[in-house]
Homo-oligomer: A and B are copies of this chain.
Amino acid sequence: MAVYHAPLRDMRFVLHELHGSEPDGGEDGFAPDLLDSVLDEAAKLAETVLLPLRQSGDAEGCALENGAVRTPRGFDAAYRRFCEGGWQGLSCDPGVGGQGLPERLHKLVEEMLCSANLAFSLFPVLTHGAILAMRDHADATLRARFLPKLVEGRWSGTMCLTEAQCGTDLGLLRTRAIPQDDGAYRITGTKIFITGGEHGLAENIVHFVLARLPDAPAGTRGISLFLVPKFVPREDGSPGARNGVVCTAIERKMGIHGVPTCALSFEDATGWLVGEPHRGLPAMFTMMNGERLSVGIQGVGIAEAAYQAAAAYARERLQGRAPGGARHPDRSADPILVHPDVRRMLLTMRAHAEGCRALSGWVAWHLDAAAHAADARARQASEDFLALLTPVVKALFTDLGFEAASLGVQVLGGHGYIRDHGMEQLLRDARIAMLYEGTNGVQAMDLVGRKLPAAQGRLLDQFREPVADFIAAHAANAGLAPYVQPLGSAFGRLQSATRHILEADDPAEPAAAAAEYLRLFGLVALGFMWARAAQVALPRVQAGDEAAFYRAKLATARFYMQRILPQADGLHAAIMAGGSSIAAFEDAAF
């Protein structure tokens, strides 16, 4: 029953039309046709291999049997197909077996995987994070031994941070690492909530584990990062003896049933230090920041899948009549697509899915620029942009993905609540993305507490200047006024809220404003994407084969400006009211 077709036309719009030339001035040598053909292949994989396993994977779930995790039927074969196609290494260095394709392509492929089968997509996304951490922090020996296997997908990766007593606050972690004479370490401790912590899809699993050395200072400055494989590789690189890592339980959870969430017990497990002693947290954050962008994209994938399924239902379900009278008097009733409230819900989902895709395209453009731009200042500017936008992408997109899934359920009515249509699964699956890799509240705190004040606002400039420049450049453009004027108004609200936060004396004030501020920031960022989309679409709506595509783009932009962006007013007012009502409430009264 699941419906999904990769939105290839809109992806090409983001890739080729919205964000302009290639980050390095068009010299990275990726012909648009090449990128498009990869998108086409990814769409086939998502639609024909992963989508058919979405509902069955949810219904069957995973099982822990004698320490081994059984994944749902079909995941094994699908994972082989995924690896054989070279998808794991899509954007990785060809020197370690990757395809060397740009991130702005990779992120679109990730979105397709999330739309088709969010649970399945978590295996490769964690491996990708592990690849990034290895690439940037592991020494040459470890890299040579592990990186090609991870890039191939033959071995998979995990992140082992959380323990029962510590989630957000990693300073509390207790897992210990004892150095051995041979340069390795013995790791002992218990980790929970480890996505893909044990399974049989890959030959080996490479755990990235945060632990404390014997001489570690207390708190977050005493945490080191270790690589702990499920099987210790032999000299020839093949998986050797079983390491001291045992899956003791898998969680019963709301959704993403197709991927196991494991409790792992490390008992004198052999591991190797990645990066410097006590500097594990910064190293892990390489992985974490990549994951946060990917988690944001999960929200886009869910929003797109929910939109498509809801629109398909709304076209076919006959119920009631249009407000002005029957639109299809020959049929027993009109399709529910005629009802303004159904259209409102669909347009909200569409505006968010496409808006987030556009913003994610901008972010991916900077990922490529940060890696490849010739000019060091340009690379730094892109790094700044990414640091600023990462918490916004993670929290905003996952909030909107969840809201889109809930709207999808609403469009289907009672049929949305039962399993058959698969819509309630999207809602259950979507909910996790607001929690893992740092809850959305943690993202909001990162934005207001670290990113805004960092380097005298240098990070913020990377966002503020392009938006301000765009508004100024098009202030006199009558055709764009319906898009630029609302954007300008909301942008003014954002500037005012930013000042409020940066100028606050009370350290609790930014924290009290954080959630609303992140949403306001996100609404403005999406508004900028929609105004940019309108700018691209406007000259193309009158004629040509694709005029209908550009008309829809322009119409969605208008809907966004008129019906969604005004939420900026209420968010601004709530922020400006300050946090005294939050602080003043007596603890004992909760």
Q: Which residues of B contact A371 (CB under 8 A)?
A: none
Interface residues of A in 534-590 (CB under 8 A from B): 548, 551-552, 555-556, 558-559, 562-564, 566-571, 573-574, 577-579, 581-590
A277 interfacial by beta-carbon distance below 8 Å: no
> Is A418 a contact partner of B251 (Cβ separation < 8 A)?
yes
Given contacts A416-B435, A548-B588, A573-B569, contact A559 B581 (CB under 8 A): yes
Min distance, Cβ A589 to any Cβ of chain B, angstroms: 4
> Is A253 a contact partner of B508 (Cβ separation < 8 A)?
no
> Is A319 a contact partner of B417 (Cβ separation < 8 A)?
no
Given contacts A341-B445, A581-B563, A589-B552, contact A410 B435 (CB under 8 A): yes
A38 interfacial by beta-carbon distance below 8 Å: no
Given contacts A172-B333, A566-B573, contact A589 B428 (CB under 8 A): no
A95 interfacial by beta-carbon distance below 8 Å: no
Min distance, Cβ A233 to any Cβ of chain B, angstroms: 31
> Is A419 a contact partner of B169 (Cβ separation < 8 A)?
no
Q: Which residues of B contact A510 (CB under 8 A)?
A: 323
> Is B311 a contact partner of A590 (Cβ separation < 8 A)?
yes
Alpha-carbon distance A151/B318, docked complex (angstroms): 38
Mark each residue of chain A from 278 to 321: 1 if its CB lies under 8 Å from any CB of chain B, else 0: 00000000000000000000000000000000010011001110
Min distance, Cβ A131 to any Cβ of chain B, angstroms: 24
A414 interfacial by beta-carbon distance below 8 Å: yes
Q: Which residues of B contact A581 (CB under 8 A)?
A: 347, 555, 558-559, 562-563
Q: Choose the segment among A69-77, A132-140, A160-168, A182-190 that binds chain B (4+ C-beta atoms closer than 8 Å).
A: A160-168
Interface residues of A in 234-277 (CB under 8 A from B): 251-255, 261
> Which chain B residue has the least Cβ–Cβ distance from A166?
B319
Alpha-carbon distance A343/B439, docked complex (angstroms): 15
Q: Which residues of B contact A559 (CB under 8 A)?
A: 581-582, 585
> Is A343 a contact partner of B582 (Cβ separation < 8 A)?
yes
> Is B563 a contact partner of A574 (Cβ separation < 8 A)?
yes
A424 interfacial by beta-carbon distance below 8 Å: yes
Interface centre among A254, A339, A559 (most CB of B within 10 A): A254
A179 interfacial by beta-carbon distance below 8 Å: no
> Is A332 a contact partner of B172 (Cβ separation < 8 A)?
yes
Mark each residue of chain A from 407 to 423: 1 if its CB lies under 8 Å from any CB of chain B, else 0: 00110011111111000
> Is B562 a contact partner of A577 (Cβ separation < 8 A)?
yes
- Pick the contact of A344 from B319, B551, B582, B587 — CB < 8 Å? B582
Q: Which residues of B contact A514 (CB under 8 A)?
A: 340-341
Min distance, Cβ A514 to any Cβ of chain B, angstroms: 6
A406 interfacial by beta-carbon distance below 8 Å: yes
A440 interfacial by beta-carbon distance below 8 Å: yes
- Pick the contact of A414 from B436, B564, B570, B573 — CB < 8 Å? B436
Interface centre among A171, A339, A420 (most CB of B within 10 A): A339
A210 interfacial by beta-carbon distance below 8 Å: no
> Is B434 a contact partner of A410 (Cβ separation < 8 A)?
yes
A512 interfacial by beta-carbon distance below 8 Å: yes
Mark each residue of chain A from 477 to 509: 1 if its CB lies under 8 Å from any CB of chain B, else 0: 000000000000000000000000000001110
Q: A548-B588, A562-B574 are in contact. List 16 more A-B contacts (CB 8 A).
A: A162-B414, A167-B413, A254-B427, A254-B428, A323-B510, A323-B511, A324-B507, A341-B512, A347-B581, A410-B440, A552-B585, A555-B584, A555-B585, A559-B582, A567-B570, A570-B571
7 contacts between A and B (CB under 8 A): A169-B333, A171-B333, A193-B414, A342-B441, A350-B590, A402-B406, A555-B586
